[in-house]
Chains A and B, each alone.
Chain A
């Protein structure tokens, strides 16, 4: 046997057998996967010198209007104070929609967030809705605090908060599916929710391109037995924080 033959017989890929069907699917899905998946979420909250002042100045009228939480700024849509220049130029607005900006560092942020946990989000049986909303909100607040890098405050739109809950709940259901016995009723129930969750309001509203489709494909692959485990890529923070049970 000459040296090249010897090398060929040791080729780690000599028995590689991946179907053209799977590779074809992968190729067709590539344009969706290349969509800017994280862009909407990366800018979902803002930090800056004006943010703390904004939260302070906006809090008073909000309370005067009967709003219950200090976290509510009373400020909707474009993140710059009306008639005031600032770090967020109107021409480069980062708002997702016209929902209210919420002060994430406010003492009652977790109470506020728990109060807006959407009723359409269901959770696996072992979770209490309120406890889950609070645990994920504490985790998210801590994350933002760790990322502030000296900035005095941070704000996030209400839609971003709801979107966060949708993602967190999806993680709980993925974890449920991965933990349940293959083919069990628990897995079926989890998949039903995961398919529905791909179309939850804030997920659809903040889809920068291909997100909803990716979630649907992920759930359908699980239903068709093409995967034995659903990726927890988006859930590592919650896992590390011990929020998922």
Chain B
């Protein structure tokens, strides 16, 4: 899925057109990231708008490569998520259009067994699993976002899967 924007610039994303082109591919993944973690789900629109505002303010220093920008944007999103947990993300007009669409398409009901199994993991392990399985990060990338070395991330991920398998009694994995 792509968002209609101007052509990708060759310079840093410090103009509005360059900014749009750089960030557009991240919009759906960032929104999904918040929709997976924020309740009520529609507040993910406000988290996304907050993330955009931060990214725009930092536009002069955004990384120039796609991978680095991806990691940087999710690092910002992680901070916004923490602020949301502290009640510091406000409803904004910027999120109005998206809020209703999220409410309709991302109901708050999830598989109870899976939710319980994930909740039984340590916080960092749970986030590691979610980043890899839901958000599509590689193990090393997910580890980097959480401040975990690649080797330790692999070990943690393997161990977390074992725990989940036991919790969900999934012998075929």
A residues near B (Cβ < 8 Å) are: 1-4, 6-13, 15-31, 33-34, 214, 217-218, 221, 226-228, 231, 233
Contacts and interface: CB of A to CB of B under 8 A. Distances in A.
28 contacts: A4-B173, A7-B129, A7-B164, A8-B134, A12-B110, A13-B106, A16-B35, A16-B106, A18-B28, A20-B3, A20-B27, A20-B28, A22-B98, A24-B20, A25-B97, A26-B48, A26-B97, A27-B3, A27-B5, A28-B20, A29-B94, A30-B49, A30-B55, A33-B53, A34-B57, A214-B93, A226-B100, A233-B93
Contact of A26 (B1, B98, B129, B172): B98
B31 A221 contact: no
A31 B94 CA distance: 10
Contacts of B45: 26
A104 B161 CA distance: 63
A228 B164 contact: no
Given A2-B170, A6-B168, A15 B106 contact: yes
A20 B2 contact: yes
B49 A16 contact: no
- Please name the 6 residue pairs, one residue from A and one from B, whose CB atoms are nearest each other, closest first: A2-B173, A30-B52, A10-B114, A10-B111, A17-B105, A13-B32
Contacts of B91: 231, 233
B165 interface: yes
A12 B36 contact: yes
A219 to B, nearest CB: 10
B101 A26 contact: no
A17 B98 CA distance: 10
Contacts of B52: 26-27, 30, 33-34
B83 interface: no
A10 B9 CA distance: 38
Contact of A12 (B1, B16, B106): B106
Nearest to B168: A6
B172 A13 contact: no
Interface string B65-108: 00000000000000000000000001111111110111011111
Contacts of B20: 24, 27-28
Given A10-B110, A233-B90, A221 B134 contact: no
A217 to B, nearest CB: 7
Interface centre among A11, A28, A228 (most CB of B within 10 A): A11
B128 interface: no
A6 B114 contact: yes
A103 B130 CA distance: 56
Contact of A27 (B23, B93, B172): B23
A133 B84 CA distance: 36
A31 B168 CA distance: 45
B160 to A, nearest CB: 10
A13 B36 contact: yes
B27 A27 contact: yes
Given A10-B110, A12-B36, A26-B48, A221 B4 contact: no
A192 B135 CA distance: 43
A23 B31 contact: yes
Contacts of A231: 91-93, 96
A218 to B, nearest CB: 5
Given A19-B101, A33-B53, A6 B106 contact: no
B32 A226 contact: no
B4 to A, nearest CB: 6
A231 B53 CA distance: 18
A26 B27 contact: yes
B56 interface: yes
Contacts of A11: 36, 133-134
B146 interface: no
